[in-house]
Amino acid sequence: MADQSLPKARTPRPAPAEAEAAPADAGISRRRLLGTAGATGLVLGTAGTAVGYAAAPTEAAAPLTSLGTDRAMFHGKHQPGITDGLQARGHLIAFDLAAGAGRKEAAALLRRWSETARRLMAGEPSAHDDTDVARDAGPSSLTITFGFGHSFFGRTGLEKQRPTALDPLPEFSSDHLDKNRSNGDLWVQIGANDALVAFHALRAIQKDAGSAARVRWQMNGFNRSPGATAHPMTARNLMGQIDGTRNPKPSEPDFDQRIFVPEKGEPVWMTNGSYAVVRRIRMLLDDWEKLSVKAQEDVIGRRKSDGAALSGGTETTAMDLEKTDSQGNLVVPINAHARITRPDQNGGAAMLRRPFSFHDGIDPDGVPDAGLLFICWQADPLRGFVPVQRKLDRGDALSQFIRHESSGLFAVPGGAAEGEYVGQKLLEG
């Protein structure tokens, strides 16, 4: 969790013109629906944040009825699902290659997955045995993102191509990790603004794995739907706090340097890629909700009502770390979460956070199993996630109200060009 916001979602593309020319008696396909829905206006997806939570773009929110028309592109310099705005529904799933499967089988799998992702993100059915779950929907901002875990390289005989940035994360004092829900050979992130579209993609990816890979773990998440508020705004997490004000933005001159591997980086196959740290962070909501609003604000370092720093101003006003009250006490407590996570307090370390909230039911004692599927992106986790988390370990006031229950680190290669599949430079290089 952290005090930063995401960039705004990419501009939706208009529906194909040929879809509008379909015969009047034709069945209603996803492609046709995309064309007709486009006449009512395109959705402007909300921007996301560090802890699941949106930066405030300037465009007016579009009606929910137009959500299906928004489309992200599969091919590009970077994979989708990194700088796109937060989506309303998400699925994270990790796979291990099956016994006997190696580089050849992995290449065939990534080829299948890439084609499925391209089709589904365009609002088309999958190539084989489509389930029709999303038959009546448009793309709904669907993004599908693929990554490789540390163990993938040993299983495929590609140890020499394994990045040093993919070395296992160190242990942290707040970790209570379930190894069965951590790591994995392959990782897939799915996001969409419609739950059925997201599930349809999840099912298609699972089916495509066939005998080449088996599911290691799978998690489900959600965010506020675009258009649910009177105007686009930084969203709230399950603790009720506005969170995500200081996420790095693509407009900043050093954004690419912080988030993506440069062309001259190592290894070459990771050019334009990024590293994703994935953590299931449970929020101890019963304990949190016993605190007064003032106590909650002191833990975070920001006002609960509008996200402004306790030192004053608006949400985007710079935090005054030296300001004191009439008794000489720091207005923003020394152990406040927002103070500790500031890049200028961590040698410039920064991550692009793009997570989902989760709620997996209530245990027999009536305690909600809820929190954050934390996902952060950086050019090098040793310069991004690790130093910030180490500092949080040493005295973050929020630590007693959260618990890290699973963890993973994945190398996410750059986007696939037309005619290519994700990871082709690694698997065929």
| Residues involved in catalysis | 243
- Tell the burial category of 369 from Cβ atoms under 10 Å away from its Cβ (0-12, 13-18, 19+): middle
Indicate the length of the chain as a whole number: 429
Residue with tokens 């060009």: 417
Among the listed residues 158, 215, 159, the one whose alpha carbon sits nearest the alpha carbon of residue 187: 215
Going 106 to 108 to 111 to 112, the CA torsion angle's sign is: negative
On whether the CB atoms of residues 311 and 336 are closer than 8 A, the answer is no
Q: How far is CA 390 from CA 83, 101, 351, in A?
A: 25, 37, 14
Q: Which two tokens stand for residue 179?
A: 């190894």
CA distance 315 to 232: 14
CA distance 224 to 246: 19
The one-letter amino acid at 316: T
Among the listed residues 319, 311, 372, 324, the one whose alpha carbon sits nearest the alpha carbon of residue 342: 319
Helices 103-121, 195-209: axis angle to 10 degrees equals 160
Q: Residue 236 phi/psi, 5° resolution?
A: -105, 150
- Tally of CB atoms within 10 A around 30: 24
On whether the CB atoms of residues 27 and 185 are closer than 8 A, the answer is no
CA distance 389 to 386: 5
CA distance 370 to 284: 8
CA distance 316 to 348: 18
The one-letter amino acid at 360: D
Which residues in 400-420 are b (16+ Cβ under 10 Å) and which e?
ebbbbbbbbbbbbbbbbeeee
CA distance 68 to 216: 31
On whether the CB atoms of residues 405 and 178 are closer than 8 A, the answer is yes
